[in-house]
Structure 1
């Protein structure tokens, strides 16, 4: 009886390696989101005030290229780790490069430092991002049922780091190290970047110090080497027809979610500029720093992820079973579109001119927008990570995780273009277009869901 209860307990609880990867990802996301919260403001703030003085449209393009590139390089990083490096080593290489990138932004406050720092961050993320997500899936080799819940917990680590990063880095840049000389404000952006570098270092110390204890040999060898040790070299086996179908499902859904991320990633660009100029940020006489709005999304995720994780498990235990992956993702896209519909109501008050506000909108509009975007993300992103780990053939696991992440790269380039044209077309037109496209694509994916589920089985 006792042995049976222990076995049941082991099925319910998650392996300790999940929580090690949770904290490693938490600190990496602290580094990334801390830097990202400041990047647009840093680019557009005048030189005399501690920024680089770019035109807003140019800054949006740089921001879009950067946030796009950090999701393209996982394709190369996933391939190299599968074939030559191994996932565990790739995560360390990526972490070190990203720490150096943020340190360049701190130490070199000019355009050379900007491009050098962003290049290191782009390359480092390519090694780090696809491999840590793949390791989470490898912790559950014979337990597909708990993967969605595990990835939702892992996603909390991402967003705990994402919640504190804008608060800490924004406070350092816009408050603690802000000085006023002869009536001119001077911001301490470089100290925010330094905090991001320190966060990345902390994460790597935790990961490398406890990796062998909690992860064992998972991810140490390349796919081919691990297969040879087990006696079955899957790296040389051709894909079966079912594996080809499942790979096709990953690619098809990846194309759909581009539209989701193009809208979602406006948070660091056009939504930041809109909140800075068009939203009444005063609460009881105190003005909320603009960068702090980017903490709303991770805060909502930390609050809602455990609820949704428990809901998926409970739903799976019912007769009808859990919602299918395509259905979850289609609902996520529709929620994103509804968030923009809420924001459109704010734009109708403030006016659509990206440079002149008629009046400022109530802060609740942007809070509700972030809430709906967060719900959409929870229906789509952790479920997508779990989907790739379930469906991807072993020989292509990290590469296909890179393909999944590359959708965010394409979306960020597209999102950067959309953010740039808000300066000429106006917020009403661009926000309306994004919201409408997200809803339409979500409905199309919903119609295709049964066909995709049959291909996944």
Structure 2
């Protein structure tokens, strides 16, 4: 996308109207609010739905399998952003990708809402994976389009947008978790489907007035000849995959264990290929190549951060159910409610961080230093949660305030890294790969959860302290290294701050 086209898009968006930000931020804020409401509501009860017995309305999976499936599912959700980013850049545009993605997500939640077999459960997972891949990276890309590159409101705008994400994520576990765990899992999933439907309505009814040309431009459209070739390759690929699955399952080659290993390899391999392709592309300028080099250590730091943060919905969710005293201050706490802590703290603190970055202006920490702070807090969040086992042993019920403290500390890191990473991605992305670079950003989460699927099996009551201590210690060490190499990374950013 040329600078002229970028300016044309910015000019088409009303620049005042939502907390001093472009009016389009309202549309994107509430679209993502409802999408996240549906996603995190579903995710708050998903692991319990899998490992609760059939007599309790669950699927009866063993706990280790449920933890691994949740991590693999999370990895595939973010990995599918590759497909969504490519379709947006080459065929659909970001706006259409958001709309079609929302429809697939809604259908996935509806499939979960229907009591049925394990097969129906996996069908719903496929629909949600593909839908989120279309919607999530592209709605974030549109946020970047409504601001000019020189607009000082940009980081603040992404922080506000991020608060919208977490407002939906805060409310949904309280509602869906209450209904799903105390009444019926499928009724809880149906509430998630309604949330996505509302998000689609908001997007369709307000996008014309508020977004102008944002999301309509196709950054790198396929030519007529390319379309025929690409569709042939896609069709052939689907046939090959279907045949491979049909052969490998009866032969015992494709098992759950081998599938986890495959996703782990893809979680590392796909981002690596992406970096190489973008760097070597003739459409990438010399300045953009330098920025890609700067982006690599930020990507690695992001993987480490999300490897810890995403265990809030797996290991810590299990910890809340099995290791935490849920009778506290005269209340009986639902384990799903802990999933609201992360977004609650973000809602509370995101405006503070948004104000802080604007207030500091040119004196704020550089992007790499913000990332190093994010990693530092993530590491400490795991160090904190090992303390109860050290004090009282691995088999005593833990005061829930320890979990609250762990979630609080990791949120401090998230606000230093995640919204800043979204903003940095839009600034460092090569023009011909704008939406796909946002997909690459989300691949850091995919890689993290693919790694988590491999390591959650090492978590037991006996290894609890070692598990939290090693992972937390690695994060702290990486944060120190990143802090000291930050000036070098900043020099490769070629003026991006």
Q: Distance in 2 between matches of 1:269 and 1:285?
A: 27
Q: Distance in 2 between matches of 1:367 and 1:403?
A: 31
- Sort the Cα spacing of 1:326 and 1:361 in 2 relative to 1 into closer, same or farther, 3 A: same
Given that 1:56 and 1:420 are in contact with CA atoms closer than 8 Å, whether structure 2 keeps it comes out as no
- Sort the Cα spacing of 1:9 and 1:200 in 2 relative to 1 into closer, same or farther, 3 A: closer
SS of the residue aligned with 1:93?
A: helix
1:195 is matched with which residue: 191, 196, 208? 191
Structure 1 gaps of 5+ residues are: 1-7, 178-187, 227-235
- Sort the Cα spacing of 1:31 and 1:350 in 2 relative to 1 into closer, same or farther, 3 A: farther
- Tell me the CA shift for residue 416 of structure 1: 2.6
Given that 2:108 and 2:123 are in contact with CA atoms closer than 8 Å, whether structure 1 keeps it comes out as yes
Q: Distance in 2 between matches of 1:108 and 1:364?
A: 36
- Tell me the CA shift for residue 60 of structure 1: 1.1
1:160 is matched with which residue: 152, 155, 167? 167
Structure 2 gaps of 5+ residues are: 1-14, 223-280
> 1:181 maps to what in 2?
none
**Are 1:213 and 2:209 an aligned pair?**
yes
Aligned residues: 423
- Report runs of 4+ in structure 1 exceeding 4 Å deviation: 8-12
Q: Deviations over 1:4-25 (max 9, x none)?
A: xxxx989992011012100100
> 2:350 maps to what in 1?
305
- Tell me the CA shift for residue 26 of structure 1: 0.5
Q: Deviations over 1:8-61 (max 9, x none)?
A: 989992011012100100100001100111111011100111000111111111
Alignment of 1:10-409 (within 5 A): 13-175=20-182, 177=183, 188-224=184-220, 238-316=283-361, 321-352=363-394, 357=395, 359-409=396-446
Q: Distance in 2 between matches of 1:300 and 1:46?
A: 33
- Sort the Cα spacing of 1:409 and 1:268 in 2 relative to 1 into closer, same or farther, 3 A: same
1:426 is matched with which residue: 460, 463, 467? 463
- Tell me the CA shift for residue 237 of structure 1: 6.5
- Sort the Cα spacing of 1:219 and 1:242 in 2 relative to 1 into closer, same or farther, 3 A: same
Q: Distance in 2 between matches of 1:56 and 1:94?
A: 31
- Sort the Cα spacing of 1:316 and 1:278 in 2 relative to 1 into closer, same or farther, 3 A: same
- Sort the Cα spacing of 1:10 and 1:42 in 2 relative to 1 into closer, same or farther, 3 A: closer
Normalised by the size of structure 1, how large is the TM-score? Answer: 0.89
CA RMSD of aligned residues (A): 2.0
- Tell me the CA shift for residue 328 of structure 1: 0.4
> 1:180 maps to what in 2?
none
Q: Distance in 1 between matches of 2:36 and 2:413?
A: 19
Q: Distance in 2 between matches of 1:263 and 1:394?
A: 32
Q: Distance in 2 between matches of 1:271 and 1:9?
A: 41
Normalised by the size of structure 2, how large is the TM-score? Answer: 0.82
Q: Distance in 1 between matches of 2:447 and 2:157?
A: 27
- Tell me the CA shift for residue 284 of structure 1: 2.8
Q: Deviations over 1:94-130 (max 9, x none)?
A: 1000010111111143211110000001001110111
Q: Distance in 2 between matches of 1:255 and 1:9?
A: 36
Q: Distance in 2 between matches of 1:190 and 1:45?
A: 13
- Tell me the CA shift for residue 281 of structure 1: 2.1
Q: Deviations over 1:117-168 (max 9, x none)?
A: 0000100111011100010011112434221111000000000000001001
- Sort the Cα spacing of 1:275 and 1:397 in 2 relative to 1 into closer, same or farther, 3 A: same
SS of the residue aligned with 1:223?
A: coil
